[in-house]
Structures are given as structure tokens and as C-alpha cells.
Structure 1
């Protein structure tokens, strides 16, 4: 690589037009997957030797994203936007980066974020939407931009706008596999939100299967494609099971879900995410001992993942394993302050079940300090107050839980019972 970089410098200094050739070499190395650092070396050298050749700066940002260094990627795309806003990669890549960096921290179901903790994340989502809207105005037929804009709307909770963007992507590039994958994911999310296993999931599964069969293997990531198909089959089984469908249909749906989840692992046995998903699926089907084994496999491959530790704690708790508390505390150590509210809530639930009400109240209150609208924490804090005979406080907590998540049936039921019991008191 050092010899290649020496040749790069000398050739570009002699003829600046050679920058485009070396840029192609960087892209080839980047596509090689395992050669990201080599690609970064090529692009970094190019930005130094030929600072006006902005394609290398854009590609350097992409390489940093793929290597997981979002801070350096941010610097690249900010510099690119400042130098040339009209550059094709400037706005779309900066917008996509903001989604990658802040999207997972946005409020989801059962949680209303407080302005103080999540101000930067909310601002980042707004900025991402603005960048992508500007990008789509400059190139309205690019499916990849519409897909990223759809993701921005989804993260902001604007699901109808997200759907419209995906329809545009499909309209302009019907054979664009990332767009087809994104459309399938949207159908699955829609079905899960409405708990309606109709044609949506069949279409989604067919779309995922098409990506696997027809997608270019140099572009389509097979483990991700199999995971997408597994997502559709898993949703089909879980929704059907919730409505007590026919046993034969349930068995068939479970077989499909397990097969595709295991196939995703087979494609990349070292991918902790797929082991994690298999563990979650077994937890949902009440196979807790299996879930524990798969979640432990995920942790063996990614020992710093607080979510895997937290879900392992849940599986152990549901198995009545006393080690669940230790596992939760390990998850808490690994989590950031913005990730910890769900783990604190889980610890609070564990203490409540063991009738350690003071400790439970402390954990659940800490959870709500970080994310005041987190419905499961409010619901369980309400149950602590019920156990202590504090009916007004219990009713208040259940009302907050229902307000944050009107699909949380447990909170609705608890609210009705608490109101009735409060009147008797």
C-alpha cells in the first residue's frame, strides 16, 4: 500500500487528471469489504494531493461510515457541503450520515423524549430531512435519495410521508434493489403497527425473496437480505399467534421464520445481530432457554452490546434465573445515558416482581428521569404504587403510560382497575 500511495502522489502531481483513475482504485478497494483501511489511505492521499477533486472527499466520507468512524465521516461531508453544495454526493451523503448517527436515538414506540436530552438528535433529524429534500429536488429521479428521505420521515414518525417517498423510488427505478428492500421493510412495519397479517406481509416476503433471487451479489448483502425475509416471516408468525390462528398455519409460519433466521446466520456466522434476532424470536415464542443460548452467542460475538445483555437479562428473568439481575447491571455499565432508560425499567420490573418496592420505585423513577414518556416504566411504577396502596399516584402513572402509548393494553387495563379500586377506597 505504501508503494501504491507513492505512485499515486507522483502521477497526480504530474497530471491532475489522474485523480479520477486513483479514485476508481479507492472505490474498488472499498467494495472489497475487508480493504476499507486501504481505501481510506487512497482517498485521504487524494484529498491532500488533489484538494479540488471533490469526489475523493465524498468517497472518503463513505469509507469512514463503512469503517464505523462517524465523526471523521461528518467532517468530510461538512467540508464537502461547504466547498460545493451542488456536488451530487454532498447533501444526500450528509443527510444519510445524520440518519446513521442520530436516527437510532430518536424516540420510538412507548417513549416520548424530553427536549433537554434529545435536542441534538431532533435537530439532526430536521437537518437530515432538509438535506435530503434539497438533494431530491436537484435529482428527482434518484431512487436512493427517495429511500433515504423515506428513512428520515420514518424516524420522525411521519409514516405516510415515508410511504410516499418509497412509492416515488419504486416509480422511478422499479428494479432498484435497495428501494425494493426498503418498501418491503415499510410493509412489515405497517403490519406490525396495525397487528394485521394481511396481504402486506405476503407482498413483503415476496419482495425480500425477489431481492435474494434477482439482486446483484456484488451489491446485495446476502445476510441482510436473508434477515429481511426472516423479518417478514417472523412478523407473520407472531401476529398469527397473537390471534390464536389454526395450529397447522402457526406451525408452518414458525418453520419459515426459523429457517430464514438460521439461514441469515449461516450466511455470516460471526454476525452478532442475526444471533440476537434469533434469540428475540425464541423469546417471543416463549422458548426462553433457547433464547438464552442464542443471546449468549450474540454476546460472545459482540460483548460490548448493551442491548444483547439487556435482552439476555429479560430471557433469564422469564426463566426465573436469579442471575438476571447481574446481567442487567452489566447491560447498564455498557449503556450510554441515552440507552439506559429501558434497562433501568427492566431492573425496576425485576425488583417489583420480587416485592422490593423501594428499589423498584428508585429504578423506575430513574428511567423516567431520562425518558419521561417511557410507557412501560410508567405502567410498572403504577403497579408499584398499587402494591403500596397509593391509588392516586397509580392512576396518574397509568394515565401517562396510556398517553405515551395508546396501544399498551396492559396500561389501559391497569388504569381501569385502579380507577375502580380507588373509588372503593
Structure 2
């Protein structure tokens, strides 16, 4: 990530978490020599280390997330990245950011590497806590993590300057598998093994954190920042049992597996079919004694009350959107045939093949009338572009080609559940 890009991103995120509102008159975040200020003066006259000020400003958000975990008892599910619900966005962000960044404690050493690490941890913290969360339900999680994004050069836009995408964990070996090996992972997942938390104790991909760049567009969207993003990863090892973390990913335009996943998430955010977040549960009435007092955020009892509501589990507290509409499957002309795995004139296919989820370009899609019904045909002589159909990028789910044939021979992946993950909360 180049210095100019990180500086611009740093300043935008500091503004989003509220640092600018607390600065003393005339206080800037960039010194006269062009370097970012490490210590700033606030309007109340105090001097604060910027890296300590950030978690102080986010303290109420941390308290809300802890209250959600305590009230719902879903912390272990988030750490194992299974059976997630939209409201678990609170747990995903709270458990994946760096504890050092959340504490705002001074560095362990004065080395340059330590200073750079603290800045990047604070950057991820601000991105996670200013992101608009989006939840992908379990049936679509595998395609979201293993599918192909639109081709190079495609402009990808986000609905917010920072966006968080999360779903049930998908084993890393399946995410990075090539086309020839992916079919074995699909078979294992379909057999029910995908419900296990870890594939030979390898990490799980749980989602991603994306950054957007402001531009002159007027539709309230942001260009995907190709310089920086993060994968949300669940790890299980002797040193780090059942932990979530953010793995930095740079140069999203490159054809690496990590960049592919983040670009796929960005493309999914541009789809229609994300639902409207549920209404926020009603707040308790404030008593007359609190009138005129400085707001200290909701009381612990109020936080617990809101966290226990059905709306909270559905994502109301963080305005979580869920992907509810099924992926589009393009309408085909009557004469069209599904593609065959074998080349024309070549030998007949012997095994089924898995075709990854992918995006199409300029696919014909029905236009609906005032009653929500198709206004006419998509293909044929009576199909009229702009009247009965339009064209847009669509997402096609992964599917078997020649499903009637047997799978390729070979040993299937073994999905093994670590015994530590099946303990009850009382045994922890």
C-alpha cells in the first residue's frame, strides 16, 4: 500500500470515527512537513495520542458488541464460524480486530516496525467499525468464497465507503482449489462434511473487509479500492485456538486467490436482492433525571435488552443487509442446450464437473410491469430491449455439469471437526 494511499485512507477513516469533531481549533492531522501527526490537541485542551484516541471514540461500539455476545451466548459460534446470523456482525468485527488496537495501549517497543504495525492495526480497526455489514446466508456461502468475480477491467463499486461481508466459514483448501480439484470439495460439502468447522485444522474464510474510494459518481456508491482490503479468517491451532483475525490483502487487481475472493465479494455487493435491514428495537424511555446530562451511551441493562430482541439477531443494531434473492439463472432460448464438459467432436465426458459460480455480462433480464410481473418475453421476435427486457451483470450459482455421471475417482477431502469445538459452554 503506497504512502499516499494509506494517508488518504487514514484521514478519511479518522473523520468517520469522529476524530475531526474533537480537535481543537486550528489543529490538523497532517504536520507542516507532510507527515501524519501522532499526537493531537483536542477541543478540551488535552493532548492525545491518535492511536489511543481511536478506541476511546469507539468504546460505546465495543460495549454494544460485548453486550450482544453476553446476551445471545453466540460467541463460540462466531469463533467457529458456523451457523452465523446477520446480527453476528457484531461478533465478527469485535473478535477479528487486534486486541492491541482496541486497548490503545502504548507500544511494546519503540521500533519502526512496531509503529507501522500499530498504524495498520488501527486502520483495520477503523475500517471494521465504520463498515456497513452484509451477510451471505449459508446456502450461498460456498459460491461466494469459491466463485469467480467479473473479468479484469470491470468497474466494481461498493454501497458504502467501507463494507464488511461475512458468511459461514469455508475451508481454505476449498477456496484455493483449482478447477480440477474443486469438484472433490463440492462433493464433501454436499455430503454434510462442510458443517464441520475445520478442514484438517486449516483456516476458514469467513468474509472480507473492503474499502471504497470517493469519486464524482452521483449514485452514492464508491469505487473499490484496489490498494487495500482484508480477509476475515478463522484459525485453529495450538497457539491460537478458535480465533478470528483480519489478513491484509493488497493489490486487489492481481490474480491471487485472496484478491479474487475480495473482488467477488465486491461484485456481490452490486447485485439486487439485498434485503432492507429490520427496524431497530425500541429504546427504553429515559427518566427525567437524565435530562440535560452528557450522554454516556445506553446503560448496560438497555444494551442487554436490545441485544436479546429478534431484531438484533436479524441484524437491526448494525443495519445488516442479507442476500435474500436467489442468484439469477439466465433464461435460455428454446433451442439452446446446457454446455457440455466435453469438446465438440471430442470424447464423451466420463465424470461430472463442477462449474464455479460466476458473473455474466449483458445477460437478458425480464423487465417487470406495474404489478411486478414480466412485461414480455426475453427472447424471440416479440422481445424488445428496454420494453420487455434489459441487460445487466448477473450472478450464476455453481452447478454440476453432466451431473448424471459419477464423480472423478480419487480420495475425497476429509473434513474433521476438532474435538475442542464441540464442548458445551459450561465445559469451556
Report the TM range for the smaller structure's normalisation.
Answer: under 0.3
Query: Which of 1 and 2 has higher RCO (CA within 8 Å, sep 6+)?
Result: 2
Higher helix fraction (1 or 2): 1
Higher strand fraction (1 or 2): 2
TM-score by length of 1: 0.24
TM-score by length of 2: 0.23
